[in-house]
Amino acid sequence: MDFDYLVFIGRFEPFHNGHAAVAQYALKRARKLIFLIGSADTPRTIKNPWTVAERAVMIQSALEPDNDRLIIYPLRDHLYNESQWIAAVQRQVNEVVRADGRTGPVRIGLIGQDKDASSYYLREFPQWDLVDVQHTETLSATELRRFLFEARQDDNHGGRLLIRANVPAPVFEMLDAFRKNSPTFAQLLAEYQFIERYRAAWHDAPYPPTFVTTDAVVVHSGHVLLVRRRAEPGRGLWALPGGFVGQQEDLLHSCLRELREETRLKIPLPVLKGSLKGRAVFDHPERSLRGRTITHAFHFEFPAGPLPDVRGSDDADKARWIPVSDALEMSAKLFEDHLHILEYFLGRG
């Protein structure tokens, strides 16, 4: 074989026939195949409906005869720090090699489809040979997720038949059971329908809209202020207080207004302004399901003292002070890129 290990990076949402073809080719070229499953730290959304454990089962069920040659690891996102993401990939692969007890030179390669701009990551690891596989004709994972939500409970829906034709049989059984039996699917379907209506409302705009929002990172005595979202998208997830910028306000005053509306925080405005420690723009193109959304986050710091009273509002059913250490471990419960915003200001990003 040409390699001891080939590395296959992807989200696999879901694992489809194209992924399976790449994996089967890799198993002909390498002794073992390392899957790094991306977006491992995100909550369930219509873009990422399945957990890492569920996606690992999809992979193992589709490649069952070769399971003893598969090594599957989670890979978390680093939206605003590419170097950390690259280091995480390198660290996971090194851990595999050490755990496997390999000594001497090890032949490692990276396998994938260099099909468009989204494949840029394949060129981030020059120390590994790149195995660029040709595109396998299949529907994309994005299209398959859309058909899954549009099929709903209709077994005869054409989208369901297309899903069956484009994923391995064991994966189709998992997806069908998820669609029919999982309570999670109902909430994801509500989110999908909300996003479709939201985008349709802007369909006739002369240009694709870009939305501007603000978010408040308020840290007080080792706690950060979060709110729990009442409505779609992200209903039930925890988030930084924030919202859309009004037509007649600047960014800072938009942030302060949203903060007070969503949390009823009683700290006077002059004191809040005086506690402003930093600000930054977060503009990852895919940070929001609603469309292109750029947020300006403001960091307010109060080193000591009793925590002020807070409570929820119409948009947030709860507001709560959460210890910083706990908030940084809430990745699967935090809205959009709010974990990454917290990490940026709190020193871990």
**Confidence at 61, pLDDT banded by 50, 70, 90:** very high
Residue 307 belongs to domain spanning = 211-346
Does 173 lie in the same domain as 244? no
User: Could you tell me which of 177, 239, 186, 216 has the C-alpha nearest to residue 296?
Assistant: 216
Q: Which of 149, 184, 219 is the last residue of a domain?
A: 184
**Confidence at 335, pLDDT banded by 50, 70, 90:** very high
CATH number at residue 119: 3.40.50.620
Write b or e for each residue in 117-129: b if 16 or more Cβ atoms lie within 10 A of its Cβ, otherwise e. eeeebbeebeebe
pLDDT of residue 72: 98
Does 218 lie in the same domain as 170? no
Domain count, the chain: 2
Say whether pLDDT at 156 is over 80. Answer: no
Residue 201 lies in a domain: no
Half-sphere exposure in the Cβ direction for 109 (13 Å, CA): 22
What mean pLDDT is predicted for residues 91-118? Answer: 88
Residue 192 lies in a domain: no
For the segment 247-256, what is each residue's pLDDT rounded down to a tens digit? 999 999 999 9
Q: Which residues contact 78 (CB under 8 A, 6 or more apart)?
A: 84, 85, 88, 340, 349
pLDDT of residue 135: 65
% pLDDT > 70, the chain: 97
Does 295 lie in the same domain as 172? no
- Residue where the block lists tokens 């491992």: 40
pLDDT of residue 157: 75
Say whether pLDDT at 8 is over 60. Answer: yes
Choose between 96 and 114: higher pLDDT: 96
Residue 194 lies in a domain: no
Residue 204 lies in a domain: no
E strands, the chain, where?
A: 3-10, 30-37, 70-74, 108-112, 129-132, 211-220, 223-229, 238-239, 242-244, 276-282, 293-302, 316-323
CATH number at residue 317: 3.90.79.10
Residue 123 lies in a domain: yes
Q: What distance in Å separates the CA atoms of residue 163 and residue 152, rounded to the nearest whole number?
A: 13
| Under 8 Å between Cβ of 36 and 73 | yes
Choose between 261 and 347: higher pLDDT: 261
Does 81 lie in the same domain as 163? yes
**Confidence at 153, pLDDT banded by 50, 70, 90:** low
Say whether pLDDT at 325 is over 60. Answer: yes
Mean pLDDT of the chain: 93
Instruction: Give the number of other CB atoms < 10 A from CB of residue 273.
Output: 13
User: Could you tell me which of 58, 65, 67 has the C-alpha nearest to residue 11?
Assistant: 58
Does 325 lie in the same domain as 244? yes
